[in-house]
Structure 1
């Protein structure tokens, strides 16, 4: 049986309690995953940095996705330590638990799209293919400590 999504205050009731549906409803749109990607791989932290992503997210969509990800406990927001006018977004533990999914998307894309090898570090990809669990654990720890996979790739 399937329930239709209904609005309640600022949250939505899930259409169903299928685990695939839950994931799709929370982080399944491309913008949410690209925001998470930018945090993990490039180290973006601010609204302005996310806005500069090459995919060209609209300002209203970005604001909406950041709010949703924060509301769902995937991101946390705090004032920048150097500029209180800016907020820094970081992944929570729940958000870091999405890192293995991102890494598996990379592996899947590389297998099915010959143009998907656009990673700045080919050694990273080789290591990922050889030992995805170890690389996933390393990336989670790196992000937990405020780092990112390709810091030299920042715009």
Structure 2
């Protein structure tokens, strides 16, 4: 699966990969919410259609952001795991969350205001480090 890039600009190239409606949502679901199976993604609040999810997971895999593998105890089920390249998106996810927290509440008053949002407000770097640590701990037990 080849990615088409519009130009040589690094910002535009990143948006060519990550700027659609679903790519960062899927990465966020994996990193923040611990999702790893097709079923996890389908049953999420974001309600991604199966055909779109399938396409996006294949694109993320082709780009080396996600690795598709089998569950150790169930060789029939696929799981999707973030690679180091995928985990490198953690600061981007944190910045988007912080921007949303600061600038979208007046338009979307039901944005969550608990959990890790306090740490995100206080220290984005620590928030990101904690997400990565939790993700790696989860991988170690998978």
TM-score normalized with structure 2 length: 0.88
Q: Distance in 2 between matches of 1:104 and 1:13?
A: 26
Separation in structure 1 between the aligned mates of residue 113 and residue 83 of structure 2, nearest angstrom: 25
Residue 42, structure 1, aligned to residue 33, structure 2:
yes
Secondary structure of the structure 2 residue equivalent to 1:12: coil
Gaps of 5+ in 2: none
2:125 paired residue number: 133
Contact in 2 for aligned 1:75/1:90 (Cα 8 Å): yes
The one of the two structures with greater contact order (alpha-carbon pairs below 8 A, sep at least 6) is: 1
Structure 1: which 5+ runs fail to align? 1-9, 148-155
Bigger shift: residues 99-108 or 128-137: 128-137
The root-mean-square deviation of aligned C-alpha atoms, in Å, is: 1.6
SS at 1:146's partner residue?
helix
Identify the residue that residue 4 of structure 1 maps to in structure 2. none
Counterparts of residues 85-96 of structure 1 (less than 5 Å): 85-96=76-87
Cα gap change, 1:59/1:119 in structure 2, threshold over 3 Å: closer, same or farther?
farther
SS at match of 1:118: coil
Once the two structures are superposed, residues 97-147 of structure 1 have per-residue CA deviations (whole angstroms, 9 ceiling, x without a partner) of 1111111111101111212631551xx212211111122122122212326
C-alpha contact 1:109 1:116 (8 A) present in aligned 2: no
1:59-74 equivalent positions in 2, closer than 5 A? 59-74=50-65
Q: Paired residues, what number? A: 136
1:78 aligns to what SS in structure 2?
Answer: strand
Partner of 2:17: 26
Aligned counterpart in structure 2 of residue 57 of structure 1, from 48, 73, 98: 48
The correspondence for 1:16, drawn from 7, 13, 16, is 7
Q: In the alignment, which of 107, 112, 117 is matched to residue 118 of structure 1?
A: 112
TM-score (norm 1): 0.81
SS in 1 for 2:61: helix
* Structure 1 ranges of 4+ moved more than 2 A: 144-147
SS in 2 for 1:17: coil
